[in-house]
Amino acid sequence: MSNSEKDYNEDLIKQDASVKESEQHSVDVERGHTLTTIISPYGKKVEIGEGVDDAMDFAEEAKDIVVTPEEDRKLLWKIDLCMFPLMCLLYAVQFMDKVTTSSAAVMGLRTDLKMHGDQYSWVGSAFYFGFLLFNLGPGQIIFQRTKRMAKMLSVFIIVWGMILCCHAAPTVRYPTFILLRVLLGCAESMVTPCFTMITAQYWKQEEQFTRVCMWFGMNGLGQIMMSSIAYGVYIHADSYSIKPWRLLFVITGSVTIFVGVLISFWIPDEPTKAIFLSQRERLMVVDRIKSNQQGFGNHQIKKHQIWEALRDVRTWLYFLFSICSNIPNGGISNFMAILLNQDFKYSSKDTFLMNIPGGAVEFVGCPLFGILAMWATIKSVPVFKSKLTWAMTSTSITLIGVCMLAFANNDKRARLAGAYMQNIAPVSFICVLSNISANTSGYTKKWTVSSITMATYAAANIAGPQTFISTQAPSYHGAKVAMVVCYAAMLVILAIILFVNVTENRRRDKLAAENGHEPFDSTAFADLTDFENPNFRYTL
């Protein structure tokens, strides 16, 4: 037999073996056998074995569930109504706690603690030093390892409420106050990462942006609550036995402790433990989030997922975006009341009232963008189905606003309108949070990317108050120009994220068309990363 005939026969044998393997693969899948290996979108062989998602324990029972569209809509409404009010209240309270110093500064905090120069700027930064410290390691380890995430979060909430009350102690001096701000930052640092995880546990990818807009937009409600409470405390200042700014911390701390207790009783650690869902509804949640190709979580810290997070270009785009987004946020959240008081020349009493419209803009604007994005998805409006498009739209509005604030020197009304328009800025950061929730798969990888983003959030918020230099008071023109530069850079970064995701989705669709799809159910709860899972597609 010639060499060419041998080669031909060998090729036939290989082809026959390949066909038999493919047929056996199909039979196994039809019989319900679990796949042990898959080929990633990058051509790498990935083992599916130990370390699967917690939701896998319920996948077998949930696979026989048949859910009608009407049942799914009823379940979605039930989850929204049972989860959202308390989540939104907590997010409003945490922002109220964070900016209490801004109102207290107008009430005499700086005078009583003998602050001078840039010392008040460091009050704003100190909170984020604690935030940064906890996000760089301890936070991720504690919350990923625990199987009782909601209960652990409630403990942190109660502790930060106690710390906030301690801000009012008569013996508090500047160094002690700074220490309390650092500890407060540590305690509050896990709220947003935990909420990001919870959102991924209950809602589908296409539903998450709207929900994140809802609970993140409660920052505006927190600002309204804080300004209203501060106004009430200020006009009755003579009725108290302690300084009004100290009473402000006692009030906000007590409210926080109360909300922490409510969280411990009501928010479940995972959907299968939700007291407001029946057993069938719990299994329906397992079935509905299968499309996310993610589950409830995995408590094993996987080093290869940490490494993958560090070499994912999206991680560093989120990193750059978080810097640009939160330098302005750190400055304006601590200095807005001072700007209204000193730059816009409002009295201390009127300052609290004039701070309310800014909160109202965020309270209405952020959820509105989320609702518009949901409407565009339902109506299949091509351009506006992309959440990143809404993020770029909100950033453009914010950029116009900060330009008005920075450069309309002779028009007080235009500058004030610009200051209020800045409260639309969180929509773009919300988009990044929902991207981490929906587009980062693998529980360790998700926690890693979230921790890096939130650590950057803290670092940028540390830098933000430092752009308000005391020698530039009362206009702080340098800080306003810094905002303009940051928001312009954000537009570019958002466009790059959109381009990266669109390009990768097209590449994966082409691979799937050429090579076929892996069984969808086999990869859904395998705790695969988005790099490993061939069925994963990035939301836009």
In CATH, what number does 56-513 get?
1.20.1250.20
Query: What's the chain's Rg over C-alpha atoms?
Result: 26
Residue with tokens 């380890």: 141
Q: How much of the chain, in percent, has pLDDT values that exceed 90?
A: 10
Could you give the angle at the alpha carbon of 466 between the alpha carbons of 394 and 191, nearest 5°? Answer: 55
Who contacts 25 (Cβ-Cβ below 8 Å, separation ≥6)? none
Q: Which of 173-187, 280-294, 306-320 comes out lowest in average pLDDT?
A: 280-294
> Once rounded to an integer, what is the mean pLDDT over residues 68-74?
85
Mean pLDDT of 24-51: 57
102 within 8 A of 335, measured Cβ to Cβ = yes
Q: Mean pLDDT over residues 106-131, rounded?
A: 81
Q: How many CA atoms lie within 13 A of 299 on its CB side?
A: 11
Tokens of 353: 């009232």
Max avg pLDDT among 10-14, 248-252, 475-479, 523-527: 248-252
pLDDT at 516: 67
The yes-or-no verdict on residue 54 having pLDDT over 80 is no
Least Cα distance to 362 among 483, 484, 218 occurs for: 218
Span 418-447, pLDDT tens digits: 888 888 888 888 888 888 877 888 878 888
Q: What is the DSSP string of 87-117?
A: HHHHHHHHHHHHTHHHHHHHHTHHHHTT--T
d(CA 172, CA 167): 7
Percent of the chain at pLDDT above 70? 85
Average pLDDT of 19-38? Answer: 45
* Omega before 474 within 30 of 0, i.e. cis: yes
Which residues make Cβ contacts (< 8 Å) with residue 331, sequence separation at least 6? 124, 464, 465, 467, 468, 479, 482, 483
Q: Which two tokens stand for residue 4?
A: 């060419």
Q: In this predicted model, what pLDDT tens digit does every residue of 263-311 receive, in sequence order?
A: 888 888 888 788 888 888 888 877 777 666 565 556 677 888 889 999 8
- The pLDDT tens digits for 458-503 are 888 888 878 888 788 787 888 889 889 999 999 999 999 999 999 9
Q: Both tokens of residue 56?
A: 């896998």
Identify which has the larger pLDDT, 139 or 1.
139
Q: Which pLDDT value is given to residue 294? A: 60
Nearest to 335 by CA among 228, 469, 232: 469
User: Which residue carries 């989320």 as its tokens?
Assistant: 370
Residue 318: pLDDT band with limits 50, 70, 90: very high
Q: 3-state secondary structure string, 23-62?
A: HHHHHHHHCCCCCCEEECCCCCEEECCCCCCCCHHHHHHH
Residue 349 near residue 234 (C-beta atoms within 8 A): yes
- Model confidence at 450, in pLDDT bands (50, 70, 90)? confident
Residue 29 has pLDDT above 50, yes or no: no
pTM above 0.85, yes or no: no
Hey, what are 259's tokens? Answer: 């909300």
Residues written for the chain:
540
Mean pLDDT, to the nearest integer, of 28-56? Answer: 59
According to DSSP, residue 358 is labeled H
The rounded Cα 45 to chain-centroid distance in angstroms is 32
Give the mean model confidence (pLDDT) for residues 396-418.
87
Domain boundaries, the chain: 3-47, 56-513
Contact partners, residue 280, CB within 8 Å, separation at least 6: 65
Q: Look at 437 and 2; give whichever has higher pLDDT.
A: 437
The two structure tokens encoding residue 527: 């705790």
